Amino acid sequence: MSYKDLPNPNRKNSKRKLKIAAFIAAGFLAVSTTAVMIGSNYLVDFALLRESSSSSAISNSLNKTTDTVARMKEKAADDLEEKLSKEADLWARDYLTEELSVYSKDNLLLAADYFEQKEKTNKYCIFVHGYHSSKEKIRAYAQKYYEKGYNVLTPDNRAHGESEGKYIGMGVLDKDDLKLWINKIVERDSDADIVLHGLSMGASTIMLASGDELPANVKVCIEDSGYSSVWNEFSDKLYNLYKLPEFPMLYGANLVSKVKAKYYFTDGSCVAALEKNKIPMLFIHGDADDYNPFYMLDVVYNADASPQKEKLVVKGARHTMSAYTEPEVYWDTVWKFIDKYNK
């Protein structure tokens, strides 16, 4: 027998070591996968459940200005918002005409308030609220449009306010709900000229809808403080809240969202939708917005295929606070844009 035929004890040890390493790797992979799925489930529920406290948690994580002048400007805007909101609540008691409802494609009952002019007009505004907000919280905007001669419809988005739904649609599902409200107006008035105006998630809902074939009755769109995509929105929040990268948690949450909320985060690209838009669009953003970061303004503006577009940057305005930071500039720009393109 040659030395080559002798059993090699090192070979047996090597095989044993490989088996142990494979077992450890498999165990680590199983634990890691489980951890990612648990984290992904948490992220989806935290972000999308209607009962979630995510909005306040995100707000508390934002940078607070230490500049005295900026703080004074912010306080003035906060005070004006509070004042106008209280006035609008009193106004709504006298001018709320009707509470409307529609059923979504997935059979959710959706609610809206309707403020109709006493004199007949074909001018309409659908004003869409933002994330974890409600139709009551945007009454100051509704009052502005009403006093300008518009019939105003303010829906509660799914999983908000009086509308049904367990999971927030982030604009992906809401854009189809918005089309139902548009159709409801057109059914009532075939000559309706409709302005779509939205804040934050409501703004992104309008941008997402603009990529679809909307009725010719929709004349103008106004987006205020919208995000460029659902993916980018959650990627930004994941880092700001937890200092985590996109991979693997956001990728896992994307799959979980499809199972629980019936849409992928990747379905919500305002950029892709705007590349097909033909409706005049006004883009508004405050340069102090760190909720939906200011850089997103140029991302969506540059993506918009409509040649009839403008943008307004409000200096020192935080998220959705442009109308209260520079109210005259804000509304003067809005009315001029509408008059320019709604002919």
Q: Which two tokens mark 176? A: 């189809």
Query: Confidence class of residue 17 from pLDDT cuts 50, 70 and 90?
Result: low
pLDDT band at 16 (very low <50, low <70, confident <90, very high): low
Instruction: Check pLDDT > 60 for residue 4.
Output: no
pLDDT of residue 9: 54
What pLDDT is attached to residue 31? 42
Range 7-16 average pLDDT: 58
Instruction: Of 248, 245, 206, 234, give the one whose Cα is nearest residue 291.
Output: 234
Query: 221 - beta bridge partners?
Result: 196, 281
pLDDT at position 12 over 50: yes
Question: Which whole number is the average pLDDT over 149-177?
Answer: 98
Distance separating alpha carbons of residues 219 and 233, to the nearest angstrom: 28
Give the whole-number percent of the chain exceeding pLDDT 70. Answer: 87
The strand pair at 281-286 and 309-314 is best described as parallel
Helices 249-260/230-242 angle, 10° precision: 130
- pLDDT the model gives residue 53: 74
In this predicted structure, what is the pLDDT of residue 176? 98
What is the number of other CB atoms lying within 10 angstroms of the CB of residue 82? 12
- Report, as an integer, the average pLDDT of 159-164: 98
Q: According to DSSP H, which parts of the chain are helical?
A: 9-48, 54-61, 68-95, 139-147, 174-188, 201-210, 230-242, 249-260, 270-274, 296-303, 322-325, 327-341
Q: HSE of 50 in the Cβ direction (CA atoms, 13 Å)?
A: 16
pLDDT tens, position by position, 126-145: 999 999 999 999 999 999 99
- For a pLDDT cut of 90, what percent of the chain falls above it? 81
CB of 121 within 8 A of CB of 342?
no
Give the Cα separation of 287 and 9 in Å (integer): 70
pLDDT at 14 (0 to 100): 64
pLDDT (average), residues 236-246: 91
Per-residue confidence (pLDDT) for residue 18, from 0 to 100: 61
Task: Tell me if 186 sits within 8 A of 153, measured CB to CB.
Answer: no
Residue range 229-252: average pLDDT?
94
User: For residues 75 and 64, what is the distance between their CA atoms, to the nearest angstrom?
Assistant: 12
The CA distance from 68 to 83, in Å, is 22
